[in-house]
Amino acid sequence: MSSMRRRVHVAVAVAGLAALTVACGGDGGGEDGPGPFGEAGESSAAGGDDAGSGDLGTLEGLTAREISDRAQEALVSVDSVRFAMSGGSASETMTVDLHLDRSGSCVGSMSAAGMGTAEVIMRDGEEVWMKPDAEFWRTSLGAADPELVALLDGRYLHGTADDPEMATMSGACALDAILDDVSQDSGTDEDLTIGETTEHDGVPAVELHADNADGPSTMLVATEGEPYPLLMTGEDNGQPMEVGLSAFNEPVEVVEPPAAHILEVADFRSGNIQA
């Protein structure tokens, strides 16, 4: 069974990749196989003896697995969160930076090498605005004519979550589905140990380390307040991947783009595009 950390990696990556392959028939795929992190077996020492150095704050005295469990519980309980993911090989890099909530609202951007970048805004799981760059218009939305691309550049494509052009992009904003994947973790026998205490974006944290066939991996867990996972680093299918998490329970601010910059999906389909 794949670990909580891999589920976060894969869920965010799949959501972003599905959105970026909307014109190529991508359906979001799935996750499989054991991952680089463990909601592992007990840490190498009982109690808190594997705690490395430093003050563990609210996590003092817990084993590595107990800390991992608490991080998982804290994450799946949020109403909103920001995921900032980067990964892939040098020639196939992908980034996803989304602030999303359980109501289906979402703001952020996604990019992939050779496919371009698209900003996305979604409100209440229904209305979607997508602002592709020139490369994305060409590669993913079929706007091959340079004059057409120049006309479209800077425009937001507007539709609903049910529109085929928007469906997979809006799927990237499905926080409930991502956290449902995370909550299904049942643990593995991976060796998980507590490392050093540190800070991440000013938040005191502790390192949890896993070392298995997929290579070493690290998760930083907050040691003050809720024990949220703050940063996950490791590999997925042999490629480096990193997911930063922040803005826990902070409202997603959806600002509708100016009307002059919006192109309706129906007009895009029909070619009714005005300068």
* Percent of the chain with pLDDT strictly greater than 90: 37
What is the mean pLDDT of the segment spanning 1-23? 50
- Statement: residue 41 has pLDDT above 80: no
**What is residue 102's three-state secondary structure?**
coil
pLDDT the model gives residue 213: 66
Region of poorest pLDDT, from 23-32, 120-129, 229-238 = 23-32
- Statement: residue 129 has pLDDT above 80: yes
pLDDT the model gives residue 173: 86
- Statement: residue 128 has pLDDT above 60: yes
What is the mean pLDDT of the segment spanning 177-203? 80
Question: Is 252 within 8 Å of 141 (Cβ atoms)?
Answer: no
pLDDT the model gives residue 216: 77
pLDDT the model gives residue 13: 55
Q: Which of the given ranges, 56-65, 87-96, 130-139, 144-153, has the highest pLDDT on average?
A: 56-65
- Statement: residue 90 has pLDDT above 90: no
Joined tokens for residue 200: 């991440």
CB count within 10 Å of CB 69 equals: 17
pLDDT the model gives residue 29: 32
* 148 vs 166: CA distance, rounded Å: 20
Fold that domain 4-246 belongs to in CATH: outer membrane lipoprotein receptor (LolB), chain A (2.50.20)
Whole-prediction pTM = 0.79
- Statement: residue 249 has pLDDT above 80: yes
* 21 vs 262: CA distance, rounded Å: 22
Helix (H), strand (E) at residue 256: none
What is the mean pLDDT of the segment spanning 6-18? 55
pLDDT the model gives residue 203: 95
pLDDT the model gives residue 225: 95
Question: Is 81 within 8 Å of 245 (Cβ atoms)?
Answer: yes
Q: What is the mean pLDDT of the chain?
A: 77
pLDDT the model gives residue 15: 55
- Statement: residue 185 has pLDDT above 50: yes
**What is residue 136's three-state secondary structure?**
helix
Instruction: Identify any residues that bridge with 159 across adjacent strands, giving them in sequence order.
Output: 128
